[in-house]
Chains A and B, each alone.
Chain A
Amino acid sequence: MSDSPTLLRATGISKSFPGVRALDDVHLDLRHGEVLALVGENGAGKSTLLKLLSGIYRPEAGTMELDGSPMSPSGPRQANELGISVIHQEFHLMPDLTVAQNIFIGREPRRAGLIRDDVLERRAAALFERLGIPLDPRQPVSHLSVAGQQMVEIAKALSFDARVLIMDEPTAALTETEVATLFRIVRDFVSPRTGVIYVSHRMDEIKEISDRITVLRDGRYVDTLPTASTATREVIAAMVGRQLETGARPGAASSDPAGLDAAGLDAAGLDAAGLDPAGRAVVLSVRGLSTRKLLRDVSFELHRGEILGFAGLMGAGRTEVARAIIGADRSTGVVEVNGRPVTVRNPADAVRNGIGYLSEDRKRYGLLLDQDVVRNIMLSSLPGMTRGGFVRDADGRRVAAEMVDRLGIRTPSVTQTAKNLSGGNQQKVVLAKWLVRDCDVLIVDEPTRGIDVGAKDEIYGLLTSLAAQGKSIIVISSELPEVLRLADRIVVMCEGRVTGTLANADATQHDIMELATRFGADRSLVTTGDAE
């Protein structure tokens, strides 16, 4: 439409957070009428860049232009008014309000000061009609499944007269059918005056929907590639910055993942043994685990020295399995530790049975952010570190110092406050807490979420060597390359059920995705739990 081929351009963008340089001199340009994929590993800076484009953050350096004129949105509302709509990875919905109320929040039609909910609902219904989304405008958002909520976010973004639509991993929670609906919506949206920035980890989707691919790595711009003439392998190489990486695993490539080299042959040996678990003792056995809300008859066994991966889409129930095992949520079923049935009513019971859980939300459930490394490491073991009712801080400091050494926690001292550590080192502190408590079973939920690429390798090495020392580890991860790299066997879940267990040696990303999307026939956008 205009002479300038560029719809949205960002040049030399930099942004830091305390302790992290999230973006460093990053470029991006979106042309009229194109879908630009934005890729990079977790922590590459994609989400930060999107938040800058949508006015949630302000850049420290760099310029942004919309159709050739400078723009610097002062907030999400202004970005919307400029024609930039964003679907964020984490939902921004009000669960207690209805679908229609959520979509038009801040833009309620009124007469004489009173909100016209009827008009609101009609507009929402018309919008759903246009988008082909089967949602009831009057449904409270809390009654919707994750996929349904994602659809509400999409509808909300498209309810503005947007020229630039930015989507941050919109398909993470969607089934294939829903993804098809989403792609149709995206294609309908793209016109010579609009463009889409599409963030995703899924290469097949990127191949299908995008025209060009911009790659970020460690907060820096790497390259922009035309989708049609670029092989997936090349994109992944640009993302990870080296050619061979287990994450790529084109087909059933090497069965000896490169990342394990450093961790030693032990792990590789166990990998082979993992195919035949008969030789190793079962440490944790779970049979028929079910919860009211989601889990249905989940069964699996964890062997000594094994890393068992849990894969699945968002909402598949992986974290719920962990929460049920440690007694954080009520469940039915049998849990055996070392062959003996145990009753776990709460996390304290779990710890007594040697099961430690490292939450995906480290900052909320894993750490005392305002306390130092010593107190964090001691927390689970305090009763054993007292004399006459008084806490022996000296013991704590000694133990903490040992752990700092053993796990390679980089901190100026053991009295450093936890919140001042980097994500990777915080994760090691949480690990240390459970190691001090002598937990034999560790359940690690998203072990490298929010951790930069270098530190990820260290965490991987650490988990692998802990397993080699006889700890049994469950790794829950949304990143398939991570699961494929770490796990001896992989349990795949979908909708609260186990849809398959694979030995790593013959598992591919494709196999896992297929199991992870093996939905039952009755799936709908509304969760069944609330409708009862």
Chain B
Amino acid sequence: MTTTSTTTTGPTGKRPATRFGNRQQLQQILAFAGLVGIFAFFSIASPYFLDWANVKGILLATAVTGIMALGATFVIATGGIDLSVGTGMTLCSVMTGVFLANLGLPLVVGVLGGLAIGALIGLLNGLNVSYLRLPPFIATLAMMMVAQGLSLVISGTKPIYFSDVAGFDQLAAGELIPGLPNAVLIFFAAAAIAGLTLSKTLTGRYALSIGSNEEATAISGVDVRRWKVIIYVVAGLFTGLAGVVMASRLNSAQPGLGLGYELEAIAAVVIGGTSLRGGKATILGTVIGALIMATLTNGLRIMSIPQEWQKVAVGIVIVLAVYADILRRGKEA
């Protein structure tokens, strides 16, 4: 009996192992190829495109949306969506302004305060989704509005300037590595942490597990409600970080900003190959997605394409990227 079973199913064991990463690696390679293609196109189309100053501009533009997109990746991995990252980021900027410029707290406290506000936004999102069982779309749509309103109320609708806060602007603009702004460094560091969190910690594992089959995850004994809250808090922390970096870059907190950033972040995640249905996510993909978005906008601007048309182009790229993903999936199925 044992021998028969071994002979019948033996080939299975010898079949070359399909590594978990293969499919996602392919996705990333495709997204990366897309990025290289766009880069190549603009370098030929415009002589100014490859200037280091311009490339630096692209990287800087990537940093804030990119950091938001990192957080959004976790929520999307669970099959949820986070619409509050844009205005949430603004609220974190404003609160950092309150802590540093208005209350005159030490720099470290102000920065950590900004992150804490992000975590609080995530906590409320998570509680609403997990315990009040609101659909993520609704819970975070409500938070998007609340955050926007609070930013305006708290700031009195006026920007808060950090001119008197020594060193704050250096957070983003300083260059620990000469030639590379700290904001970009922070983005890459955040991406490394996000990558590790997604692939190697319980938070990441359960985010993918919930997105893959929420009921099965719960029946396996994972406290799904608690972990969802944690996942939204993690996303919120990235929102907070984005808020601090944004405030430092502008050396001010602009309460009117933020709306629309959430959609750019979600677009970056999706272009990178993370599935909106959940269960499949890639941080490297998200980084590439954010770079594609910023490169495209920058390149079109350099070619003097009007801003209105830039939006149209970005929309088309989103459709192409996701359709390519669907085609590939169809082939595998």
Where the two chains meet, the residues of A that have a C-beta atom closer than 8 Å to any C-beta of B are: 56, 75-77, 80, 88, 91-98, 101, 105-108, 110, 113-115, 117, 132, 134-136, 138-140, 143, 148, 156, 175, 177-178, 180-181, 184, 293, 523-526, 529-531
Q: Does B304 contact A (CB under 8 A)?
A: no
Nearest CB in chain A: distance from B251 CB, A: 35
When chains A and B are docked, how far (Å) is the Cα of A93 from the Cα of B215? 9
A140 & B217 in contact (Cβ 8 Å cutoff): no
The residues of A that contact B6 with a CB separation of less than 8 Å are 132, 134
How many pairs of A and B residues are in contact by the CB < 8 Å rule?
A: 121
Q: Does B102 contact A (CB under 8 A)?
A: no
Q: Does B108 contact A (CB under 8 A)?
A: no
Look across to chain A and name the residue whose beta carbon is closest to the beta carbon of B10: A134
The residues of A that contact B11 with a CB separation of less than 8 Å are 524
A76 & B212 in contact (Cβ 8 Å cutoff): no
Of the residues B9, B280, B333, contact of A96 by C-beta under 8 Å: B280
B12 & A94 in contact (Cβ 8 Å cutoff): no
B9 & A106 in contact (Cβ 8 Å cutoff): no
B220 & A138 in contact (Cβ 8 Å cutoff): no
Binary CB contact string for chain B from 1 to 28 against chain A (1 if under 8 A, 0 otherwise): 1101110111111010111100000000
B212 & A92 in contact (Cβ 8 Å cutoff): no
Of the residues B2, B12, B15, B220, contact of A106 by C-beta under 8 Å: B220
Binary CB contact string for chain B from 97 to 115 against chain A (1 if under 8 A, 0 otherwise): 0000000000000000000
Nearest CB in chain B: distance from A520 CB, A: 11
The residues of B that contact A180 with a CB separation of less than 8 Å are 1, 4-5
Assess A93 versus B216: contact at CB under 8 Å? Given A178-B5, A530-B332.
yes
Nearest CB in chain B: distance from A132 CB, A: 6
Q: Does B56 contact A (CB under 8 A)?
A: no
Binary CB contact string for chain B from 187 to 218 against chain A (1 if under 8 A, 0 otherwise): 00000000010001110010011011101110
A92 & B332 in contact (Cβ 8 Å cutoff): no
Q: Does B132 contact A (CB under 8 A)?
A: no
A531 & B209 in contact (Cβ 8 Å cutoff): no
Look across to chain B and name the residue whose beta carbon is closest to the beta carbon of A117: B200
A110 & B219 in contact (Cβ 8 Å cutoff): no
Where the two chains meet, the residues of B that have a C-beta atom closer than 8 Å to any C-beta of A are: 1-2, 4-6, 8-13, 15, 17-20, 196, 200-202, 205, 208-209, 211-213, 215-217, 219-222, 279-280, 332-333
When chains A and B are docked, how far (Å) is the Cα of A115 from the Cα of B209? 14
Of the residues A95, A115, A139, A526, contact of B205 by C-beta under 8 Å: A115
When chains A and B are docked, how far (Å) is the Cα of A178 from the Cα of B332? 27
Assess A105 versus B279: contact at CB under 8 Å? Given A136-B13, A140-B20.
no
When chains A and B are docked, how far (Å) is the Cα of A105 from the Cα of B280? 16
When chains A and B are docked, how far (Å) is the Cα of A134 from the Cα of B12? 7
B212 & A97 in contact (Cβ 8 Å cutoff): yes
A114 & B216 in contact (Cβ 8 Å cutoff): no
B280 & A132 in contact (Cβ 8 Å cutoff): no
Nearest CB in chain A: distance from B277 CB, A: 10
Assess A80 versus B17: contact at CB under 8 Å? Given A96-B212, A134-B12.
no
A80 & B221 in contact (Cβ 8 Å cutoff): yes
Of the residues B5, B17, B209, contact of A97 by C-beta under 8 Å: B209
A136 & B209 in contact (Cβ 8 Å cutoff): no
B4 & A114 in contact (Cβ 8 Å cutoff): no
A184 & B213 in contact (Cβ 8 Å cutoff): no
Other 17 A-B pairs with CB < 8 A, given A93-B213, A95-B279: A77-B220, A77-B221, A98-B20, A105-B209, A105-B220, A107-B221, A110-B202, A117-B200, A132-B5, A134-B12, A138-B19, A138-B20, A140-B20, A177-B5, A177-B8, A524-B8, A531-B15
When chains A and B are docked, how far (Å) is the Cα of A271 from the Cα of B141? 61
The residues of B that contact A97 with a CB separation of less than 8 Å are 20, 205, 208-209, 212
When chains A and B are docked, how far (Å) is the Cα of A162 from the Cα of B208? 27
A91 & B216 in contact (Cβ 8 Å cutoff): yes
Look across to chain A and name the residue whose beta carbon is closest to the beta carbon of B277: A96
B211 & A96 in contact (Cβ 8 Å cutoff): yes
Of the residues A75, A101, A139, A293, contact of B17 by C-beta under 8 Å: A139
When chains A and B are docked, how far (Å) is the Cα of A13 from the Cα of B263? 52
Look across to chain A and name the residue whose beta carbon is closest to the beta carbon of B14: A134
The residues of B that contact A175 with a CB separation of less than 8 Å are 8
The residues of B that contact A134 with a CB separation of less than 8 Å are 5-6, 9-10, 12-13
B13 & A114 in contact (Cβ 8 Å cutoff): no
A524 & B12 in contact (Cβ 8 Å cutoff): yes
The residues of B that contact A115 with a CB separation of less than 8 Å are 200-202, 205
Q: Could you jot down 24 A-B contacts, CB within 8 Å?
A: A77-B221, A92-B219, A94-B209, A94-B212, A95-B212, A97-B205, A97-B212, A98-B20, A106-B220, A106-B221, A110-B202, A115-B202, A115-B205, A134-B9, A136-B12, A136-B15, A136-B17, A138-B18, A177-B5, A177-B9, A524-B15, A525-B9, A525-B12, A530-B332
When chains A and B are docked, how far (Å) is the Cα of A177 from the Cα of B1? 8
The residues of A that contact B222 with a CB separation of less than 8 Å are 105-106
The residues of A that contact B196 with a CB separation of less than 8 Å are 114
Look across to chain B and name the residue whose beta carbon is closest to the beta carbon of A107: B221
The residues of A that contact B212 with a CB separation of less than 8 Å are 94-97
B20 & A76 in contact (Cβ 8 Å cutoff): no
Most A Cβ at <10 Å: residue of B8, B200, B217: B8
Look across to chain B and name the residue whose beta carbon is closest to the beta carbon of A137: B17
When chains A and B are docked, how far (Å) is the Cα of A175 from the Cα of B8? 11
The residues of A that contact B2 with a CB separation of less than 8 Å are 132, 181, 184
When chains A and B are docked, how far (Å) is the Cα of A105 from the Cα of B208? 11
When chains A and B are docked, how far (Å) is the Cα of A386 from the Cα of B74? 48
Look across to chain A and name the residue whose beta carbon is closest to the beta carbon of B280: A96
The residues of B that contact A80 with a CB separation of less than 8 Å are 221
When chains A and B are docked, how far (Å) is the Cα of A76 from the Cα of B221? 6
Look across to chain B and name the residue whose beta carbon is closest to the beta carbon of A138: B17
The residues of B that contact A105 with a CB separation of less than 8 Å are 205, 209, 217, 220-222
Nearest CB in chain B: distance from A98 CB, A: 5
The residues of B that contact A184 with a CB separation of less than 8 Å are 1-2
B220 & A92 in contact (Cβ 8 Å cutoff): yes
Most A Cβ at <10 Å: residue of B2, B13, B211, B212: B212
A523 & B280 in contact (Cβ 8 Å cutoff): no
A531 & B18 in contact (Cβ 8 Å cutoff): yes
The residues of A that contact B18 with a CB separation of less than 8 Å are 138-140, 143, 530-531
Look across to chain A and name the residue whose beta carbon is closest to the beta carbon of B9: A134
The residues of A that contact B4 with a CB separation of less than 8 Å are 177, 180
Nearest CB in chain A: distance from B68 CB, A: 24
Most A Cβ at <10 Å: residue of B2, B10, B12, B200: B12
When chains A and B are docked, how far (Å) is the Cα of A76 from the Cα of B15? 34
The residues of B that contact A181 with a CB separation of less than 8 Å are 1-2, 5
When chains A and B are docked, how far (Å) is the Cα of A110 from the Cα of B212? 22
Assess A101 versus B9: contact at CB under 8 Å? Given A76-B221, A132-B2.
no
Look across to chain A and name the residue whose beta carbon is closest to the beta carbon of B210: A94
Assess A135 versus B217: contact at CB under 8 Å? Given A96-B212, A177-B5, A184-B1.
no
Nearest CB in chain A: distance from B205 CB, A: 6
Nearest CB in chain B: distance from A443 CB, A: 23
When chains A and B are docked, how far (Å) is the Cα of A489 from the Cα of B208? 46
The residues of A that contact B1 with a CB separation of less than 8 Å are 180-181, 184
When chains A and B are docked, how far (Å) is the Cα of A530 from the Cα of B200? 26
Look across to chain A and name the residue whose beta carbon is closest to the beta carbon of B220: A105
